[in-house]
Chain A
Amino acid sequence: MAGSSEKIVIQADPEIANLIPGYLENRKKDIARMLEALGKGDYETINFIGHSMRGSGEGYGFSAISEIGTALEQAAKHNSTDEIRRRIDELAVYIGRVEVVYE
């Protein structure tokens, strides 16, 4: 089992190298938006963000982001606060650990 500080190395296509930093930055913004929405009980916004992450993650080479997005969408549909918080934490850890190599 990898330690929580270990890097997660993802191989991405060099052709989309210029898009990847912006993509990961937008996920950080999603984390902030979801935490704010969670504070207000705004599950619709979390559902929407989860849905978008599900649709985009794998296309950029981050299948984990699609999986977390799917889980967030489901949790938001069921107003499952604990699960949403857990998945937001999971996303934050993932974004912090991911290292992209282009080849």
Chain B
Amino acid sequence: MNKKAKLKILIAEDDVDLLALYDKALPDLVFDKKLVINGDKALEAYKTWHPDILVLDIVMPVMTGYLALKEIREALKDGNTTVIISTSIDDIDEVSKFERLGIQGYIVKPFDYKKIAYDILGFFKKTDPARADMARKKLEKILRHHLP
């Protein structure tokens, strides 16, 4: 694996406004992004695109985040891909059933778009510390550049 390569991140979220916010929050110089609107499309993209990181919303039409994660961890026997779920504050109790299948972390909505890239890299660090640190350095450099 080329440690300098951009991190491939697949985001499954049925709210197009949140997808737009993720897109804005994750710089193209650090992340290679694919955005999809349900679990079924996430699974399809996961199989063909092989992301480093998958962000799954819990509540989605067609296929829920839980079913998509179950397919990835159990049927496809992938225990390596970093999976982060996103959930609303009131649904936090749901997280434990995802943890049993294996996730690296969770995002609570509404999220601060200025922090979300750092949060995601923090979760990715559990899987691949070297690439996460490299990406974080790149991110800090970009954000410093944007300061007034």
Contact = CB atoms under 8 A, between A and B. Distances in A.
Interface secondary structure of A, over-half rule: helix
B21 A56 contact: yes
B59 A58 contact: no
A54 B59 CA distance: 13
Given A16-B113, A66-B110, A55 B18 contact: yes
Nearest to B59: A51
Contacts of B112: 59
Contacts of A52: 14-15, 17-18
Contacts of B24: 15-16, 19
Contacts of A22: 17, 20
B88 A56 contact: no
Interface string B69-113: 000000000000000000010000000000000000000011111
Contact of B15 (A13, A16, A55, A58): A55
Contact of A56 (B17, B59, B114, B146): B17
Assign chain B's interface to a size class: 10 to 19
Given A19-B21, A22-B20, A26-B16, A59 B88 contact: no
A55 B110 contact: yes
Interface of B: 14-18, 20-21, 24, 59, 88, 109-114, 146
Interface of A: 13, 15-16, 19, 22-23, 26, 51-52, 54-60, 66
Contacts of B59: 51
Contacts of A66: 110
A66 B112 CA distance: 13
B111 A59 contact: yes
A23 B113 CA distance: 15
Ranked nearest first, the 9 interchain pairs of A and B with the lowest CB-CB distance are: A58-B110, A55-B109, A59-B110, A52-B15, A56-B17, A23-B17, A56-B18, A19-B20, A55-B88
